[in-house]
């Protein structure tokens, strides 16, 4: 019997999507409902103040990529006028520096994207799709181990202002513990208005005017005109043949899809059946990742590589993957970065800090150009077979995302590993100094390409969080949420 499947970053995000599928909604309906719910179930990763990419694949149609990522402001001020605060996030022994504050915010696309998805292929009333998430915001959601860990990593940002503290602190002024509920009733009220009034209310109403005030008075980035001009964009995805299958992923100007495609193209060209975990396996990925990283750090070379391939006609982040019983598949990757540290007191919306993400700004902080769609390493991915089978996946993990997905794709499509085994398999990443290698029982060389390897003795969210679903030509489904980020999955 044909059935749908869902994989996401929280069990309630997953359950909301499954409820919509069981009520007769399609994969896009389920995606919208679960995305709204993620604003409370995964509050360190999702918000109306963030951005996302979504890939939609319908049977017998070419997939479509929805770009509702963040846009740079129309006006650029001197760097010293921006409110810009550094913060160090530690992943085990590794550290990353991010900046937050009023001046770190780019124009958010989440709300525009939700309504664009619904207009394109939604089948249920959008107000109905908002309701499960609004209910969770009012009734509260208990913190899980992973959400509590997120607070340890990002709490200085998420709870920077008093309104964040009201959500995440207990009566003693400490972070709430696992099992304690967080509530966002004001966000529920605001989103209910949006579900009736539409995206225009967000981009020309209260939020847009409030951000304009912040721009003028508090070192912010955004003006009313930035919001009014924002549009979700539909693009043809980047496409790559992988044997008898075809991969679809995020196209330029986002870098994630092209970087992953470059790595996979290098790996596939080896024409070797290499067993995961062997020395040859690590050397193969080391070569591919070194090539892909070089392209990543040189946008002009990456663009040239992508254009050449297209001429050959191969056509804090979380992810949701869905396939419904008709074979429609969706993949959405979303982020607020680490948040800009400020919750709006009337709507409980926290804005993104995309202008404080070094991975998005190869030229350095404040190097962005006005009025352009920011690049991103986020990369919702769908692989389709000629017989009708389909896989939908994506990951969190900042600049590591395309490398994580390349490994999962290779392990699943070329070996005897199941989808679950491919997602759970130890990963590696090249950070420019070391090949970081996740806990493994395989044959790990001390050096790869003459570069030292660093072995982690644990599985860690540093190596992403791939949530994936698949459906074969017979209608059989498989789903897996990555244990590294407390992923959840279920079936219609």
Residues identified as active-site: 317
Asked if 249 and 319 touch (Cβ cutoff 8 Å), the reply is no
CA distance 257 to 362: 17
CA distances from 197 to 1, 52, 119, 291, 328 (A): 39, 22, 14, 48, 28
CA distance 354 to 348: 19
Kindly report the length of the chain.
492
Q: Report the Cα–Cα distance between both ends of the chain, in Å, rounded.
A: 11
Neighbours of 481 (CB within 10 A): 29
Q: In whole angstroms, what separates CA 146 from the centre of its chain?
A: 16
**Residue 471 in contact with residue 460, Cβ under 8 Å?**
no
Q: In Å, how far from its chain's centre is CA 470?
A: 19
Cβ 267 vs Cβ 220: under 8 Å: no
Contact 324, 464 (CB under 8 A): no
Angle at 125 between CA 121 and CA 129, to 5 degrees: 90
Instruction: State the DSSP H helix or E strand holding residue 334, giving kind and residue range, or none if neither.
Output: strand 329-335
Measure the CA dihedral 242/260/334/81, to 10°: -160
Q: Within 13 Å, how many C-alpha atoms sit on residue 361's CB side?
A: 20
């Amino acid at each position: 019997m044909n059935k749908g499947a869902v994989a996401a970053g929280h069990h309630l995000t997953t359950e909301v999507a499954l409820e919509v599928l069981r009520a007769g909604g399609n994969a896009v309906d389920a995606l919208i409902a679960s995305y709204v719910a993620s604003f409370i179930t995964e509050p360190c990763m999702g918000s109306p103040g963030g951005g996302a990419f979504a890939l939609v694949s319908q049977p017998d149609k070419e997939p479509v990529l929805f770009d509702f990522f963040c846009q740079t402001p129309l006006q650029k001020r001197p760097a010293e006028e921006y409110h810009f605060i550094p913060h160090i996030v530690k992943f085990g022994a590794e550290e990353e520096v991010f900046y937050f504050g009023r001046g770190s915010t780019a124009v958010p696309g989440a709300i525009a994207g939700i309504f664009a998805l619904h207009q394109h292929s939604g089948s249920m009333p959008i107000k109905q799709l908002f309701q499960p998430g609004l209910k969770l915001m009012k009734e509260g959601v208990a913190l899980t181990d992973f959400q509590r860990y997120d607070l340890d990593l990002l709490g200085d940002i998420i709870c920077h202002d008093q309104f964040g503290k009201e959500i995440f602190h207990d009566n003693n002024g400490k972070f709430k513990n696992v099992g304690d509920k967080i509530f966002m009733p004001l966000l529920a009220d605001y989103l209910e208005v949006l579900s009736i009034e539409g995206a225009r209310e967000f981009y020309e109403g209260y939020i847009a005017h409030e951000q304009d005030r912040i721009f003028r008075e508090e070192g912010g980035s955004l003006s009313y005109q930035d919001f009014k001009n924002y549009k979700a964009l539909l693009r043809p995805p980047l496409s790559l043949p992988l044997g008898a299958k075809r991969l679809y992923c995020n196209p330029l100007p986002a870098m994630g899809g092209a970087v992953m495609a470059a790595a996979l193209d290098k790996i596939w060209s080896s024409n070797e059946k290499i067993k995961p975990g062997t020395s040859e396996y690590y050397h193969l990925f080391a070569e591919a990742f070194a090539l892909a990283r070089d392209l990543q750090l040189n946008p002009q070379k990456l663009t040239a590589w992508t254009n050449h391939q297209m001429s050959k006609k191969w056509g804090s982040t979380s992810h949701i993957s869905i396939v419904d019983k008709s074979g429609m598949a969706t993949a959405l990757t979303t982020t607020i970065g680490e948040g800009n540290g400020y919750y709006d007191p009337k709507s409980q919306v926290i804005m993104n800090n995309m202008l404080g993400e070094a991975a998005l700004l190869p030229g350095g902080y404040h190097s962005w150009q006005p009025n352009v769609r920011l690049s991103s390493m986020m990369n919702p991915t769908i692989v389709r077979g000629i017989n009708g089978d389909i896989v939908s996946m994506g990951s969190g993990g900042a600049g590591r995302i395309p490398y994580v997905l390349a490994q999962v794709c290779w392990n699943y499509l070329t070996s005897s590993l199941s989808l679950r085994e491919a997602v759970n398999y130890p990963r590696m990443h090249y950070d420019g100094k070391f090949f970081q290698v996740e806990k493994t029982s395989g044959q790990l060389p001390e050096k790869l390409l003459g570069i030292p390897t660093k072995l982690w003795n644990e599985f860690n969210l540093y190596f992403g969080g791939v949530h994936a679903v698949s459906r074969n030509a017979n209608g059989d489904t498989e789903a897996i949420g990555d244990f590294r980020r407390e992923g959840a999955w279920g079936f219609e």
